[in-house]
Copies of this chain bind each other. A is one copy, B any other.
Amino acid sequence: MMATALPGLPERVTIYEVGPRDGLQNEDTVLPAGVKAEFVTRLAGAGLRTIETTSFVHPKWVPQLADAEELLGLLPRSPGVRYPVLVPNERGLDRALALGATEIAIFGSATETFARRNLNRTVDESLAMFAPVVDRARAQGLWVRAYVSMVCGDPWEGEVPVEQVVSVASRMMDMGCSQLSLGDTIGVGTPGQVTALIRAITDAGIGTDRLAVHFHDTYGQALANTLAALQAGVTIVDASAGGLGGCPYAESATGNLATEDLVWMLDGLGVETGVDLRELVSTSRWMAGRLGRPSPSRVVQALSPGSEQS
């Protein structure tokens, strides 16, 4: 297919691949580290340049990622490919530093209820916990990404006021983080809300050069929200190969925006991503086989042999 541009969109989008971390941590199946390493390596081979690989959260909470050390040891270091890892606290940072990680991410919440449920802390307490993590990481020269979750809605609190998101995001960025990822963790947001949120964030001084969006497709809105975000100036988009990862906080098995569905749109729009869609689909089909369930990505389904029967 030839590409047809849509005026006002960026020429290039950076895809921040979250499948190995945000995807696999929400899958029931626990995979061997060797399979995960092959997954990450194949994703890099498909052209993804930033791949969030694992999390140094306590294995008690996320047993799927208990092999973080082993996995990082198996990854080939390729020039131009970055493997950020999630660190929940200083203990996690210690583990990441010991392995020579150069990019980390911290994961905050825009809402009190989710902060308590996910981090076992108030929002203030969680920010107090992150401050020394960012300080120490920055002192070591690490690149730090700040996630803010539940930016559109929260299962317990309903719609989340924009000012609340801006406040938490600003406090995390003021610590010295290099990039902010706005996460609609339960996938309830719609394009007007996304646009208003991005405007409020940029008005607060966090420019689109430091801003990513992270959508879940729980209500089918992820790609439309992404389009709205691109129209609002965003150029960094989180996505998960094959749509891996259910959302444990929403009543649905549907998880992250599938990288393939995003790449299909961007290819069609003539927006460069550097990703080879066929390689990516092939990787996600292989991973679906390892997980023993079909990929929820529409593109992976459409391009897989044997799916011609409706």
Contacts and interface: CB of A to CB of B under 8 A. Distances in A.
B190 A261 contact: no
10 contacts: A2-B159, A4-B190, A6-B192, A6-B195, A220-B258, A220-B297, A220-B298, A250-B302, A252-B310, A254-B298
Contacts of A253: 301, 307, 309-310
A288 to B, nearest CB: 15
State the 9 A-B residue pairs at the shortest beta-carbon distance, nearest first.
A246-B310, A190-B268, A220-B298, A220-B261, A6-B192, A4-B192, A252-B302, A4-B193, A223-B224
Contacts of A187: 302
Nearest to A302: B252
A221 B298 CA distance: 9
A109 interface: no
A188 interface: yes
Chain A, interface SS category: loop
Interface of A: 1-6, 9, 26-28, 153, 158-159, 187-193, 195-196, 217-221, 223-224, 226-228, 246-248, 250-255, 258, 260-261, 264-265, 267-270, 297-299, 301-305, 307-310
A267 B28 CA distance: 33
Given A4-B193, A153-B1, A159-B1, A221 B252 contact: no
Assembly stoichiometry (copies): 2
A26 B228 contact: no
Contact of A226 (B1, B224, B248, B308): B224
Contact of A265 (B224, B298, B304): B224
Contact of A190 (B192, B219, B264, B310): B264
B3 A269 contact: no
A220 B223 contact: yes
A227 B231 CA distance: 12
A141 B187 CA distance: 46
A179 B310 CA distance: 29
B307 A220 contact: no
